[in-house]
């Protein structure tokens, strides 16, 4: 991946358009090297701790929707400060409780090095109890969106899928995605930035708001 953030280090929170920090770590699916996923979309999502109610509900829901993310060329990747063995014990328990297999990787980050590099925690944080951040990373390691939830509220998996599809559609169509967009709905053109286009627009608002079909 190209860009300035090539090593893990304490940084300010990532901004949209940044190249995310690379990392290599152990996971429930074996060693993970983010650079090896440079040609795919990646959703990296942190959770406060294994064996907790909200996190368990999220991982069950994400595992059930995993094929939908895969169809969109996206790798799901969980992360927390818990050890690899805690992750393994947790997903075994989830399977025994629900019959659901969590087969996407869950990364261990016991030193909180990755969490700090991604700006999920302040440099002086003593634990990861506030971390429930989600990063939508486009090919070449570009951050396209991020969402942070509090510990007591779980993510919406349908919204994660909708946002991923919206980001991909915006890149394909070179258009803007309006509120409440769903696949197949109209997009909007970028606004005119010069007077010629402004005066050529048919309707009074067509220069800044004009629906178009996606590609």
Instruction: Please identify every residue annotated as catalytic.
Output: 55
DSSP 71: H
- The beta-strand segments (E) located in the chain are 24-25, 32-33, 41-46, 74-80, 106-108, 133-138, 142-148, 187-188, 211-212
Longest dimension (CA), the chain: 65
Task: State whether the Cα torsion 131-151-45-164 is positive or negative.
Answer: negative
Percentages of the chain per state (helix, strand, coil), in multiples of 5: 30, 20, 50
Cα–Cα–Cα angle for 46, 50, 37, rounded to 5 degrees: 40
Distance, in Å, from the CA atom of 45 to the CA atom of 58, rounded to the nearest integer, reads 10
* Sign for the pseudo-dihedral over CA of 68, 72, 73, 75: negative
Nearest to 170 by CA among 187, 184, 158, 193: 187
Alpha carbons within 13 A on the beta-carbon side of 158: 4
């Amino acid at each position: 991946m190209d860009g300035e953030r090539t090593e893990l280090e304490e940084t300010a929170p990532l901004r949209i358009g940044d190249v995310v920090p690379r990392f290599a770590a152990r996971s429930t699916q074996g060693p993970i090297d983010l650079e090896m996923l440079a040609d795919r979309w990646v959703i990296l999502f942190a959770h406060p701790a294994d064996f907790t109610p909200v996190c368990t509900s999220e991982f069950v829901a994400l595992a059930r929707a995993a094929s939908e993310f895969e169809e969109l060329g996206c790798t799901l990747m969980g992360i927390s400060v818990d050890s690899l063995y805690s992750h393994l014990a947790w997903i075994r328990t989830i399977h025994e409780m629900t019959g659901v297999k969590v087969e996407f990787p869950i990364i261990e980050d016991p030193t909180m090095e990755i969490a700090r590099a991604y700006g999920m925690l302040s440099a002086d944080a003593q634990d990861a109890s506030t971390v429930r951040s989600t990063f939508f990373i486009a090919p070449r390691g570009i951050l396209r969106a991020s969402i942070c939830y509090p510990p007591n509220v779980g993510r919406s998996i349908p919204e994660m899928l909708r946002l991923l599809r919206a980001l991909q559609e915006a890149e394909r169509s070179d258009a803007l995605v309006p509120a409440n967009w769903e696949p197949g709905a109209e997009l909007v053109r970028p606004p005119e930035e010069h007077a010629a286009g402004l005066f050529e627009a048919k309707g009074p608002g067509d220069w800044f708001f004009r629906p178009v079909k996606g590609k």
